[in-house]
Amino acid sequence: MYATRFAAGTAMAAALLASAAPAAVANDGRTVPYVHATPGNVQPGQTVQLVLTCPTEAATADGTSQAGTIHFGSATKGVFTGTLQVHAAVPAGQYTVTANCSSAAPSGKSAEKSEKSTEKSAGKAVTTTTTVVVTTTTTTTATTHPATVTGPVRTGFGGAAGGPDSTQIAIGTTLAAAALGTATLMLRRRAANRA
Amino acid sequence: MPHGTPADTTPDTTPGRAASAAAGGGTRLRVTALAATLGVAALLIHNGITGTPGPPTADNSGTTPTGGSAPLTRSTPTWIRIPAIAVNARLIGLDVSPTGELDVPPADRADVAGWNTDAVTPGETGTAVIAGHVDNKRGPAVFYDLGKLGTGRKIEIHRRDGHTAVFTIYAVRTHPRDNFPSTRVYGPTGRPELRVITCGGTYDEHTGYSANTVVYAHLTATR
């Protein structure tokens, strides 16, 4: 019972909030602000192009990401273009890009005129996020660069290797055994003849 | 016949004594033959235990390379000449296996060497690699004397574009197979370098040679 009431209350609160502050919509029909990163998969040291669509009254934009440094230029009808320069030493992984749209600070008559319109966005920064995936250089290297040698070569078959010569040893041993055997026989015959 | 007469000095021609003398001479001959056989046997055993020296071992000398020549563009190498050890060999292309091992020339082609086609060509900026056999089953091969080389010796690489890249040796090293410094041998360099590699160390019929002899050289002239 309590859970049902709580869920209903939450839903009503959400509906009220939504009706009180309707989200802005861009020309392409998407809710603003939103940011798009191209490409979404990068390597350390590369640059990502960012397009940040803000409410039309937004005057400045900035952003942050642990993947690198973000810089936005001037806006055209609320659309900012910028870059994310990915750090060269950033570890591989998925990184969040947070972009902020800020309204212009009011000044003079034009500011007074626009004051009401900026109230709708409460003169506050609105924020959006996206993600980029940083891949390691090694992965890319394996598929696009020539193969790399990683060990010693095997360029010998022992035909001229140094070390003991078993053939000579075997022949010498056979000859020695034969000579000693013959000598033993000779001594025995001689002893037999004397006897 | 009394003893002490001059007749005692005449040769004894009785049949029994002659046979005995002949038997003594035969025995001496046999003993001499046996001694000679034992001598030959001892020599063979000694030589067999001492063994043959095998490929020359690198003296692991080295200097700091100085100077250098401007790099060349990519071109297939065709011949290698190392006058100091009378090497004059044709070069064939060698691939790298999926496990990262450099292929080698066919075992029966003892007279050719090969170059790593996945690396830079000799004369380009980077580390070019040439490998060849130290021996095959029949005897010494193209790089048998590589370990004899010392610093300052020249290596000439003839290329298909007509240029000859002349490298000067600045180090010759024997690296054990089980602790091979791959990055040092094959790693990138900021100038044209060459590695000439063959087997070295001691040979075991089950595991092969225990080391690689590596010649380090850098480009010092082109013509």
Mean of pLDDT values over B104-127 = 93
Work out how many CB contacts closer than 8 A connect A with B.
Answer: 177
Q: Sorting pLDDT into bands at 50, 70 and 90, what band is B177?
A: very high
* Structure confidence at residue A89 (pLDDT): 81
CA distances A170 to A173, A177, B35, B37, B222, Å, are 5, 11, 19, 14, 54
B140 to A183: CB separation less than 8 angstroms, yes or no: no
**pLDDT at residue B18, rounded to an integer:** 61
Task: Report the C-alpha dihedral over residues B60, B178, B142, A162, rounded to 10 degrees.
Answer: 80
Nearest CA to CA, how far is A170 from chain B (Å)?
8
Checking if the pLDDT of B88 tops 60, the result is: yes
Does B9 map to a domain? Answer: no
Q: What is the pLDDT of residue B22?
A: 65
Q: Residue B46 in 3-state DSSP? A: helix
CB spacing of B54 vs A148 below 8 angstroms: no
Residue B154 lies in a domain: yes
A169 CB neighbours in chain B (<8 A) are 44-45, 48-49
| CB–CB contact B138 A159 (8 Å) | yes
Q: At what angle do helices A166-194 and B15-50 cross, to 10 degrees?
A: 160
Whole-structure pTM value = 0.52
Residue B16: inside a domain: no
Quickly state the pLDDT bin for B172 (edges 50, 70, 90): very high
Q: Which residues of B touch A157 (CB under 8 A)?
A: 107, 133, 135-137, 208
Is pLDDT of B173 > 70?
yes
Let me know: does B163 contact B72? Beta carbons within 8 Å.
yes
Instruction: Give the Cβ contact number of residue B7 at 10 Å.
Output: 9
Radius of gyration of chain A (CA): 42
Of the pLDDT bands very low, low, confident and very high (cuts 50, 70, 90), residue B128 is: very high
pLDDT for A137 equals 54
* Residue indicated by tokens 């998407």: A30
As a three-state string, the secondary structure of A9-72 is HHHHHHHHHHHHCCCCECCCCCECCEEEEECCEECCCCEEEEEEECCCCEEEEEEEECCEEEEE
Q: How confident is the model at residue B143 (pLDDT cuts 50, 70, 90)?
A: very high
Average pLDDT, chain A: 72
Question: Domain residues for B150?
Answer: 21-222
Quote the minimal CA–CA distance from A195 to chain B in Å.
16
**Which range has the worst mean pLDDT, A161-165, B153-157, B159-163?**
A161-165
Q: Which residues are within 8 A (CB) of A67 and not within 5 positions of it... i.e. 6 or more apart?
A: A84, A86, A87, A90, A95, A97, A132, A134
> Which of B48, B134, B175 comes nearest A165 by C-beta?
B48
pLDDT at A123: 58
What's the mean pLDDT in B120-136?
Answer: 95
**Number of domains present in the structure of chain B:** 1
CA distance A177 to A191: 21
Tokens of B185: 């041998």
Cα-trace Rg, chain B: 31
Domain harbouring B121, CATH code: 2.40.260.10
**Residues B24-70 pLDDT 10s:** 677 778 888 888 888 888 888 877 776 666 777 777 777 777 778 88
- Asked if residue B7 belongs to a domain, the reply is no
Beta-bridge partner residues of B135: B140
Of B30, B37, B103, B186, which to mutate for an interface test with A (greatest number of A Cβ within 10 Å)? B37
**Residue B145 located in a structural domain:** yes
Contact residues, chain A, for B136 at CB < 8 Å = 156-157, 159
Q: Which amino acid is at B131?
A: A
pLDDT at B162 over 70: yes
Q: Which residues pair with A34 in a beta bridge?
A: A53
User: Are A161 and B44 in contact (CB < 8 Å)?
Assistant: no
How confident is the model at residue B41, as a pLDDT?
Answer: 86
Q: Is the CB of residue B79 less than 8 Å from the CB of residue B91?
A: yes
Cα–Cα distance, B143 to B128 (Å, whole number): 17
Q: Report CA-CA distances (Å) from B150 to A141, A162, B54, B59.
A: 36, 21, 18, 8
Question: In chain B, what residues touch A180 (CB-CB under 8 Å)?
Answer: 38
Ranges in chain A, pLDDT < 70: 1-30, 104-124, 136-147, 162-164
Residue A115's pLDDT is 36
Searching chain A, which residue's CA lies closest to the CA of residue B134?
A: A156
The closest of B91, B130, B122 to B109, measured between CA atoms, is B91
Q: Do A149 and B119 touch (CB under 8 A)?
A: yes
Set of chain B residues whose Cβ sits within 8 Å of the Cβ of A172: 40-48
Burial class (CB in 10 A: 0-12, 13-18, 19+), A8: exposed
| Residues within 8 A of B (CB atoms), A 95-154 only | 146-154
Does residue B158 fall inside a structural domain? Answer: yes
Top-confidence range, A112-126, B9-23, B201-215: B201-215
The predicted pLDDT at position B33 comes to: 86
**In a domain? residue B5:** no
**B14: in domain:** no
For chain B, what is the mean pLDDT? 86
